[in-house]
Each structure stands twice: as structure tokens, then as C-alpha cells.
């Protein structure tokens, strides 16, 4: 096995990283808002798609540009590093409300100058009534508004930002260059018949596309000029040369396909950047960078030795830091669901490729260089995913484990063995299925061919729906009754557990339908009001169809919402089943009262402990509770089959929905809105995240968790089955231990057809917290002395010992 170099970074990269990570409160940047407002006003007579093109043209021409930190990859989203631009066309509501307090938001504070405030207060009123959010609210029924207000269903992030969650066709732009794409657009425009209504509308989008791509080209030229100008005054010879190189790169790729690895990476970055200037949707991803960049790497590094491998890694580092500079401001409530300002710019490596119809391992020397570069930088961007498959070499898998051991939670794994066959079953062509990549976190799509939101539509709080199902349809948090029913624990009128499941089935089907209704409003308002032009140009077959992604331009279009609190749902149902109906240990009313009082008093606590410990929990390979989750989830999945998304029949293959569990950090704010639950969880505390077991309840170790997860209908949850596991760094000290982890992963992926797993290699902080709140950390496995043990089962002294030891490892 090769030992990776996971420490070395060049001084300028280190300095750049330091500069960025010490920006505690980034600025906001009002330039985009100013330029867009100016253009929207000036071209108000134009169709919105063309108005938007004018706005982008205006902004790219005028926005502040800079080259800092001796960087090798250039391009900036906002006027300062990590400053967040404002996108008024989506919403101005929360901005007006929160602008004066932005500095004080815990964990999501932004610096706003008095001038910025004045500009925004000046700009925002003009947008009233014409933002995406305003238009959605104009259409929502009272019932839909109420569902959103109570956050039984959450769709805020879909209205105050663009969609994104996709990777565009990078190979297309690398092969054709910007001029090549413009030529393609113009050729398509020539074939339009302006006496045909369809073509007439297509002409708007294609004109906008033409304008936007030209603007992109001119924008890149601006960097060529800036770099040249800076080179003139640069006193350090080496940097002068670099600046000239940057100027040459930009000048070339503003029009032509890139020739070198450096130019190719630079062009990819510009695309990522401009997509995030055009729209503020997150999870804009690279797709399979190690595949389409490899020919350049091979030529420059391996054949012509134009640059060294270390040069190539430094360029990647520069690119990764430029990704970290891109930022997004979210409303206060949305920030909580996206803790830590994540952008989820995913890079996928590994996996397979089809050669003459046969799948072969796609790992190459660039895959390893990318992996190593991320391991050295230990940054949050890019979000690195590895596509696992049975033929992945031990060498590469070991390299992945070495990086996991660094403790920053990457790479995550997606599993070819499940994703590819399921995509093919769904209707994806084999060539495309083999080319899938991770998008954002764990969700997957075919880069360059798939519309937005392969996941991340509206969120449903499953756990609150359980509470409603148990209590006459009443939401325990707001008191609202959306779908009334006779049966309620407080009335003691459930005659058996089957009635509870029937009640759940009715309730969840109702919320599923409502979530789709809400998505229809949002989808169409985004389609009509916030066209993403460049993004559409770079996805097949938008140009040929003359349609944006939202109008049905993509080759494939499946979307998924997210279901939050799965483990709590299963555990709550199981506790009711076992303790109320089977053992009769707790009466219906007693449970209802305890939940209502949040387990108040000694009796409440005794009952809560009974609920916690007296019924099996999901994640322990217990067939009964695991099956309950499958049954409960089935109601949702079955209901989804009834619906088509708004692009159905308008071009794309697909046009339907599937389930998804990659609910980012929504489990925390959703938990904060969820009353006490029958799994013994206290009110307002976090729910379980993704498809992972509830914290501290999976006490039988990782194999049992894998077995539980393996029972879920993964083939119906193509929005992703998220599993987080925690490991102590010392668990991976020895090569034998890493091999065991590798073999465990192989078993999980090949036998259990696991969708995804990621590792938290836990730190001292976690161990300290685990010591203070052992209930939350029951699943934490630590290496003790010749054996491994569950951390919380050790004496305080032993825990101290291990806490002290861990410091040496991280």
C-alpha cells in the first residue's frame, strides 16, 4: 500500500487557506443586487429570460474583479473573498427583515456596512411582488401557507434561491470551448421558424443564451487584462511569470478549448463560478473531474512533463480554495438547516466507465492526486465523493481510508453496485448510468444530462406526522389540525396497533400530496421568473430543444424531496407497538399526557426511560423495528407513485419523483420544532439525521447498523440513503485495522447494497462531549487496550485515559 503524503502544502496555499478560514464574519456584497436591479428596470419590457440575460451581461461587465493571495486559479464571485452576493429576484422579504441583525446570527453572521444597508433598503422595495417568493405566496392556498408556516413541510430554500443540485456537461465545454458553444447556439437559432409559436418562445431563450455566453467570454477576458496589468507592476519574477501565464490562460479559454491542464482547470472553475453568480442554488457540482480532466493531466504531467505532480496538486489546492471563497447567505431559519454555510460543491472520483460496453475501473493517477490534494488541504470544499465498485483496487480504497483517517469526514462513498443498476431500471441509458456522479452531498445524477434537484425539493417532517397520526391529526407543535381523524392516544380509542399504522398511512399520504402541490407552485414560479441561462446551455439537450432546464430541456428529469426524522419515526411507532399495545405497560392516555408534558416530573422521566430502553431501536438489526420503518416509508413511496413533476411529457426521460434522505442538517431545526416523541426523545431536541440511527441508540456496532440500513428499499430512495458513522482515529492506526474497515465497506456495499456511507473520525472534543452526555454517544467505538469497546461503557477514569491518548492521533 502506498502511504499518501497528507501534510504538505505550499506556503502560498497555506497563507491563502489561513486568510479564508479566519474570516469569521464575511461581508455581504450588494453589487449583484445593484446591477440586476438596474438591468431589470432598464429592460423591463423584455421577456424575463432576456431581461435576465441583460442583467447577467451588465453584472459580469461591471462587477469588481480581483486576483489575490498569489492564486493560480482566478475568478471571484463577490467584491471580497467569501463575501455573499444578494439575489433579489428570488426574495427580498427576509433580507429586509434580517438585514440589520445579520451580524449577530450565531454561526451564520455576516458583516454589513451602513452603505450596504442603505443600498439594500433602497433596492428591495422595487422587487416587491415580482420575486419568486412573492409570486409563490400569491398562488399558495391558505392550507399550503399554513403547512409552510407551521413547517410541517419546509420549502423555503426552494423559493429564496435557485435550484442547482446538478453538474453541467464539463466535457462539452472543454472540448468545444466557449466559442464552440456560441456557434452551436447560433446554428440552432438559424433553424428557428419565427412564425411557429414553439420556436418563437425558444428564440427568447436562445437569444438570452447567446448573450450570456458572450458575456461569460468577455468576463474571462477581463481577468486576462487584469493579470497582464498586475504582471507589469509585479516585482517578484516568479509571480510576474505566473500572472502572465494566468493572462494567457484566460485569453485563450475566453474563446478556445483549453490546451493545458492548468487552462482546463481554470475553465472548469469559471463555469462553477458563473453558475453561482447566475443563481444562488447550491450543490453545484463538478461531476467526474478525474475523468474529464485526466487527458490534460496525462499530457502535461505524465507525457510531456510540462508540470510536476506537485504542481498539479498545487493547482487543485488553488482551485479548492477558490471554491471556499464562494459563499451564500441564507435566511436565519434556512441557515439552521444548512449549518456552517456549506456550498456542497461536489467532486466525484473513482467508479467505473464503460469501454466497448464493458465496465472497467475508472480510477487513474489523477483520481489519486485529487484524493491526496483533498487529504492535504482538509477543507470543507470540495465535497469529495468516491464511487465505490467491487473492482475498486485495495490500493485505492486504502488511500481513501488514509484520507478518512485525517478526520474531516471525506471522502464519502457512493455505491456503483446499487446506483447503476437502479438508474438503468429507472430508464437511464447504460452509458449515462455508468457516468453518474454524486451531486452536493450524497445524491446522484448524470452530469450534464439531468435537470435540477435530483434531491432537495421540499422537506417533510416525518416525526411530526407520527405525532399527528397518534393524536387525531393534530400537530403537537402548532395545535393545527390539517387532516382530522377520530383516533387519538388522548382519547384512548385506538383498538390495536394496526389502527395506528392506518392512521399514519392516511396522514403521510396527505402530507405527501401537499408537498407535491407546494412544489408545483414553486417549480412553475421558478420556471417563469428565474431562468438559469448558462446552466441550461451546458446541460443536454437544452440548446437543441430551445428550452431551459425548468421548461424541460434536460435529457433526464427525476426529482426528490427529503424526509426527515426516519429513525425517530420507526422508534416511536415501535415503542407504541411494544409498550402500549403488546405489553400494555403504558396506557394510551398515560403516553399522551407524558408527551404533552414533555415527560415532566419523576413519572414522566420513568416513562421516558421505559420508552428509551424498553423497546428496540432502529439501527440494531432488529427485524421488528426495521420492518416498521420499511412499512412506514412504504406509505410515502407508494403515494409518490401517483405524481408527475411539472416537466413530465415536456421532453425529459422520467418526470417523476423518488424518495430521499439526505436532509443535511435539517434534523436539528426540525427537531427544534418537534414536541416530545414516543421514542423517548425530549421535545425540541434534534431528530436523527438522514437514514442514520438516532444518536446513541445503535448500541451493537457498525455491522448491525449496516444490516438495518440494508433492509430499507434503497431502490426506491434514489435521492440517497444517508449514513454517518463515527470512528475513533486510532481505530485506523494500523494497516490491519484499515484493511478490516475496507473489507467491512466492501461487504456493506456488495452484500447489503448500501447506498452511501461517510465516516466521522471523532476528535477529542467529541469524546469530551461523549463523557458529559453519554446518552448521545452510545454508538461510539474506541480502541482501548488490545480490544475495542464502547466508549460510554468505560469508567470515567478510562474515558479520561482515552481522551488523553486521542490527542496524539489527530
Partner 1 sequence: MIFNLQRYSTHDGPGIRTVIFFKGCSLSCFWCQNPESQSLKSEILYDKRLCIHDCQLCVKKIPQIFNKECEELTIDRAHFNEQLIENVKFVCPSLAISVCGEPQTVDEIMVVVNKDAPFYLRTNGGVTISGGEPFMQPDLIQQILQRCKEKNYHTAVETCLHVPWKYVEPSLPYLDLFLADLKHTDEKKFKEWTNGSVKRILDNFRQLSITGKAITVRVPIIQGFNADKSSMRSIIDFAANEITTHEIHFLPYHTLGINKYKMLDMPYYAPTEPLNDNELVDYAMHYAAEKKLTAVLRG
**Is residue 785 a contact point for partner 1 (CB under 8 A)?**
yes
When binding is defined by CB under 8 A, the residue of 117, 513, 610, 682 that contacts partner 1 is 610
Could you tell me the smallest distance in angstroms from the CB atom of residue 781 to partner 1?
8
Could you tell me the smallest distance in angstroms from the CB atom of residue 739 to partner 1?
8
Which residue in 359, 351, 349 sits closest to 430, CA to CA? Answer: 359
By rule CB under 8 A, what count of residues binds partner 1?
A: 40
Q: Which is nearer to partner 1, 496 or 773 (CB)?
A: 773
Touching partner 1, residues 706-765 (CB under 8 A): 707, 737, 740, 743-744, 746-747, 751-752
Q: Which is nearer to partner 1, 117 or 740 (CB)?
A: 740
Touching partner 1, residues 371-430 (CB under 8 A): none
- Asked if 153 and 515 count as a contact pair (C-beta separation under 8 A), the reply is yes
Q: Which is nearer to partner 1, 499 or 737 (CB)?
A: 737
| The Cα angle at residue 533 between residues 532 and 537, in degrees rounded to 5 | 120
**In angstroms, rounded to a whole number, what is the distance separating the alpha carbons of residues 82 and 109?**
12
Output DSSP code: residue 645.
-
Cell numbers placing 95 = 433580507
**Is residue 83 a contact point for partner 1 (CB under 8 A)?**
no
Which residue in 522, 527, 622 sits closest to 571, CA to CA? Answer: 622
Question: Within 13 Å of residue 742, how many CA atoms lie on the same side as its CB?
Answer: 22
Q: Which is nearer to partner 1, 149 or 624 (CB)?
A: 624
**In angstroms, rounded to a whole number, what is the distance separating the alpha carbons of residues 715 and 710?**
11
**In angstroms, rounded to a whole number, what is the distance separating the alpha carbons of residues 513 and 500?**
20
Please, which residues have CB within 8 angstroms of residue 149's CB and are 6 or more apart in sequence?
none
Q: Which is nearer to partner 1, 398 or 475 (CB)?
A: 398
**Is residue 606 a contact point for partner 1 (CB under 8 A)?**
yes
Q: Are strands 166-167 and 284-285 parallel, antiparallel or unpaired?
A: parallel
Which residue in 146, 127, 130 sits closest to 138, CA to CA? Answer: 130
Which residue in 710, 682, 687 sits closest to 619, CA to CA? Answer: 710
- Asked if 254 and 178 count as a contact pair (C-beta separation under 8 A), the reply is yes
When binding is defined by CB under 8 A, the residue of 527, 621, 639, 679 that contacts partner 1 is 621
Residue 675, CA distances (Å) to 148, 589, 610, 680 in order: 17, 17, 18, 11
Q: Which is nearer to partner 1, 196 or 603 (CB)?
A: 603
- Asked if 519 and 457 count as a contact pair (C-beta separation under 8 A), the reply is yes
Cell numbers placing 413 = 462513498
Q: Which is nearer to partner 1, 221 or 801 (CB)?
A: 801
* Binding segment toward partner 1, per CB under 8 A, in 78-86, 231-239, 554-562, 779-787: 779-787
When binding is defined by CB under 8 A, the residue of 1, 342, 701, 715 that contacts partner 1 is 701
**Is residue 795 a contact point for partner 1 (CB under 8 A)?**
yes
When binding is defined by CB under 8 A, the residue of 614, 672, 711, 810 that contacts partner 1 is 614
When binding is defined by CB under 8 A, the residue of 308, 493, 495, 609 that contacts partner 1 is 609
Could you tell me the smallest distance in angstroms from the CB atom of residue 768 to partner 1?
16
**Is residue 694 a contact point for partner 1 (CB under 8 A)?**
no
* Binding segment toward partner 1, per CB under 8 A, in 36-44, 55-63, 394-402, 785-793: 785-793
Q: Return the number of other C-beta atoms located less than 10 Å from residue 151's C-beta.
A: 21
* Binding segment toward partner 1, per CB under 8 A, in 440-448, 528-536, 547-555, 600-608: 600-608
Enumerate helices (H) and strands (E) in the chain, giving the number of each: 33, 20
- Asked if 289 and 349 count as a contact pair (C-beta separation under 8 A), the reply is yes
Q: Which is nearer to partner 1, 427 or 601 (CB)?
A: 601
Beta bridge partners of 151: none
* Binding segment toward partner 1, per CB under 8 A, in 23-31, 415-423, 634-642, 792-800: 792-800
Burial 202-233 (b: 16+ CB within 10 A, else e): bbbbbbbbbbbbbbbbebbbebbebbbebbee
Could you tell me the smallest distance in angstroms from the CB atom of residue 260 to partner 1?
44
Could you tell me the smallest distance in angstroms from the CB atom of residue 784 to partner 1?
6
Q: Which is nearer to partner 1, 398 or 639 (CB)?
A: 398
- Asked if 337 and 318 count as a contact pair (C-beta separation under 8 A), the reply is no
Q: Which is nearer to partner 1, 228 or 788 (CB)?
A: 788
* Binding segment toward partner 1, per CB under 8 A, in 3-11, 332-340, 369-377, 611-619: 611-619
The string of DSSP codes covering 68-108 is: -TT-SS---SSSSTT-EE--TTT--HHHHHHGGGGGG-TTS
**Contact map string, positions 251 to 280, toward partner 1, x by CB under 8 A:** ------------------------------
* Binding segment toward partner 1, per CB under 8 A, in 80-88, 133-141, 247-255, 780-788: 780-788
**Is residue 801 a contact point for partner 1 (CB under 8 A)?**
yes
Q: Which is nearer to partner 1, 70 or 779 (CB)?
A: 779
**Is residue 703 a contact point for partner 1 (CB under 8 A)?**
yes
| The Cα angle at residue 783 between residues 781 and 789, in degrees rounded to 5 | 50
* Binding segment toward partner 1, per CB under 8 A, in 173-181, 410-418, 568-576, 781-789: 781-789
Q: Which is nearer to partner 1, 630 or 794 (CB)?
A: 794
Touching partner 1, residues 138-177 (CB under 8 A): none
* Binding segment toward partner 1, per CB under 8 A, in 508-516, 536-544, 552-560, 791-799: 791-799
Q: Which is nearer to partner 1, 461 or 594 (CB)?
A: 594
Q: Which is nearer to partner 1, 512 or 714 (CB)?
A: 714
Could you tell me the smallest distance in angstroms from the CB atom of residue 361 to partner 1?
19
Strand order across the beta sheet in which 459-461 lies: 153-154, 459-461, 562-564
Residue 437, CA distances (Å) to 374, 414, 419, 429, 563 in order: 18, 9, 10, 15, 22
**Is residue 794 a contact point for partner 1 (CB under 8 A)?**
yes
Could you tell me the smallest distance in angstroms from the CB atom of residue 765 to partner 1?
21
* Binding segment toward partner 1, per CB under 8 A, in 357-365, 498-506, 517-525, 703-711: 703-711
**In angstroms, rounded to a whole number, what is the distance separating the alpha carbons of residues 249 and 794?**
59
Q: Dihedral of CA 157/159/162/164: which sign?
A: positive
- Judged by the rule CB under 8 A, the positions of this chain that interact with partner 1 are 602, 605-610, 612-614, 621, 700-704, 707, 737, 740, 743-744, 746-747, 751-752, 774, 781, 783-789, 794-798, 801
Amino acid at each position: 500500500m502506498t502511504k499518501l503524503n497528507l501534510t504538505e502544502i505550499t506556503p502560498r496555499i497555506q497563507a491563502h487557506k489561513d486568510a479564508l478560514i479566519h474570516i469569521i464574519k464575511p461581508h455581504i456584497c450588494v453589487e449583484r443586487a445593484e446591477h440586476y436591479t438596474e438591468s431589470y428596470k432598464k429592460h423591463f419590457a423584455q421577456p424575463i429570460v432576456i431581461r435576465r440575460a441583460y442583467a447577467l451581461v451588465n453584472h459580469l461587465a461591471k462587477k469588481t474583479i480581483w486576483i489575490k493571495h498569489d492564486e493560480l486559479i482566478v475568478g471571484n464571485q463577490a467584491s471580497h473573498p467569501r463575501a455573499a452576493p444578494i439575489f433579489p429576484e428570488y426574495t427580498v422579504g427576509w433580507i429586509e427583515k434580517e438585514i440589520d441583525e445579520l451580524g449577530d446570527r450565531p454561526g451564520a453572521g455576516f458583516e454589513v456596512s451602513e452603505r450596504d444597508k442603505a443600498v439594500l433598503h433602497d433596492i428591495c422595495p422595487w422587487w416587491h411582488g415580482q420575486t419568486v417568493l412573492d409570486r409563490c405566496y400569491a398562488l399558495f392556498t391558505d392550507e399550503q401557507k399554513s403547512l409552510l408556516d407551521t413547517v410541517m413541510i419546509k420549502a423555503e430554500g426552494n423559493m429564496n434561491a435557485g435550484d442547482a443540485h446538478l453538474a453541467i456537461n464539463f466535457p462539452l465545454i472543454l472540448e468545444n470551448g466557449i466559442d464552440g458553444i456560441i456557434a452551436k447556439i447560433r446554428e440552432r437559432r438559424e433553424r428557428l421558424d419565427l412564425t411557429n409559436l414553439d420556436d418563437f418562445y425558444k428564440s427568447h431563450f436562445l437569444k438570452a443564451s447567446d448573450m450570456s455566453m458572450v458575456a461569460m467570454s468577455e468576463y474571462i477576458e477581463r481577468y486576462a487584462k487584469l493579470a497582464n496589468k498586475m504582471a507589469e507592476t509585479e516585482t517578484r519574477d516568479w509571480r510576474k511569470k505566473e500572472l502572465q501565464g494566468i493572462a494567457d490562460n484566460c485569453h485563450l479559454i475566453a474563446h478556445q478549448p483549453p490546451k493545458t491542464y492548468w487552462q482546463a482547470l481554470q475553465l472548469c472553475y469559471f463555469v462553477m463560478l458563473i453558475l453561482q453568480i447566475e443563481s444562488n442554488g447550491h450543490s453545484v457540482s463538478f461531476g467526474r473531474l478525474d475523468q474529464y480532466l485526466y487527458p490534460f493531466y496525462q499530457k502535461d504531467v505524465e507525457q510531456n512533463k510540462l508540470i510536476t505532480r506537485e504542481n498539479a496538486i498545487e493547482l487543485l489546492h488553488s482551485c479548492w480554495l477558490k471554491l471556499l471563497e464562494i459563499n451564500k447567505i441564507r435566511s436565519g431559519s434556512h441557515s439552521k438547516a444548512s449549518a456552517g454555510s456549506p456550498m456542497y460543491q461536489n467532486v466525484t472520483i473513482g467508479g467505473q466507465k464503460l469501454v466497448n460496453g464493458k465496465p472497467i475501473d475508472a480510477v487513474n493517477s489523477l483520481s489519486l492526486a485529487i484524493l491526496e490534494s483533498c487529504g492535504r488541504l482538509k477543507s470543507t470544499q470540495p465535497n469529495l465523493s468516491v464511487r465505490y465498485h467491487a473492482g475498486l483496487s485495495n490500493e485505492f480504497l486504502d488511500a481513501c481510508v488514509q484520507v478518512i483517517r485525517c478526520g474531516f469526514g471525506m471522502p464519502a462513498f457512493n455505491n456503483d453496485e446499487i446506483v447503476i443498476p437502479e438508474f438503468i431500471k429507472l430508464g437511464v441509458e447504460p452509458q449515462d448510468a455508468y457516468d453518474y456522479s454524486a451531486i452536493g452531498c450524497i445524491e446522484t445524477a448524470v452530469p450534464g444530462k439531468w435537470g435540477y434537484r435530483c434531491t432537495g425539493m421540499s422537506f417533510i417532517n416525518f416525526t411530526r406526522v407520527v405525532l399527528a397520526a397518534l393524536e387525531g391529526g393534530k400537530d403537537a407543535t402548532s395545535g393545527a389540525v390539517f387532516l382530522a381523524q377520530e383516533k387519538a392516544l388522548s382519547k384512548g380509542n385506538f383498538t390495536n396497533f394496526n389502527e395506528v399504522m392506518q392512521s399514519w398511512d392516511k396522514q403521510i399520504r396527505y402530507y405527501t400530496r401537499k408537498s407535491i402541490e407546494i412544489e408545483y407552485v414553486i417549480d412553475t414560479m421558478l420556471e417563469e421568473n428565474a431562468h438559469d441561462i448558462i446552466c441550461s446551455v451546458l446541460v443536454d439537450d437544452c440548446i437543441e430543444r430551445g428550452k431551459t432546464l425548468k421548461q424541460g430541456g434536460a435529457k433526464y428529469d427525476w426529482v426528490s424531496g427529503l424526509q426527515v426524522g426516519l429513525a425517530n419515526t420507526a422508534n416511536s411507532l415501535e415503542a407504541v407497538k411494544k409498550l402500549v399495545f403488546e405489553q400494555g405497560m403504558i396506557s394510551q392516555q398515560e403516553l399522551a399526557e407524558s408527551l404533552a408534558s414533555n415527560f415532566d416530573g419523576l413519572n414522566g422521566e420513568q416513562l421516558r426511560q421505559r420508552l428509551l430502553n424498553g423497546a428496540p431501536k432502529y439501527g440494531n438489526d432488529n427485524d421488528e423495528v426495521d420492518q416498521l420503518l420499511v412499512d412506514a416509508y412504504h406509505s410515502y413511496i407508494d403515494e409518490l407513485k401517483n405524481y408527475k413533476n411539472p416537466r413530465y411529457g415536456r421532453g425529459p426521460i422520467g418526470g417523476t419523483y423518488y424518495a430521499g434522505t439526505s436532509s443535511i442538517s435539517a434534523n436539528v431545526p426540525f427537531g427544534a420544532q418537534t414536541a416530545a416523541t414516543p421514542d423517548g426523545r425530549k421535545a425540541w431536541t434534534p431528530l436523527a439525521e438522514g437514514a442514520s440511527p438516532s444518536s446513541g441508540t445503535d448500541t451493537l456496532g457498525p455491522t448491525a447498523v449496516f444490516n438495518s440500513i440494508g433492509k430499507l428499499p434503497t431502490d426506491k430512495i434514489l435521492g440517497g440513503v444517508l449514513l454517518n458513522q463515527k470512528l475513533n482515529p486510532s481505530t485506523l492506526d494500523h494497516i490491519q485495522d484499515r484493511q478490516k474497515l475496507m473489507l467491512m465497506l466492501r461487504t456493506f456495499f456488495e452484500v447489503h447494497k448500501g447506498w452511501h456511507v461517510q465516516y466521522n473520525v471523532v476528535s477529542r472534543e467529541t469524546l469530551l462531549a461523549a463523557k458529559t452526555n453519554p446518552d448521545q454517544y452510545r454508538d461510539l467505538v474506541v480502541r482501548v487496550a488490545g480490544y475495542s469497546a464502547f466508549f460510554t461503557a468505560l469508567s470515567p477514569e478510562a474515558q479520561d485515559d482515552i481522551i488523553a491518548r486521542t490527542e496524539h492521533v489527530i
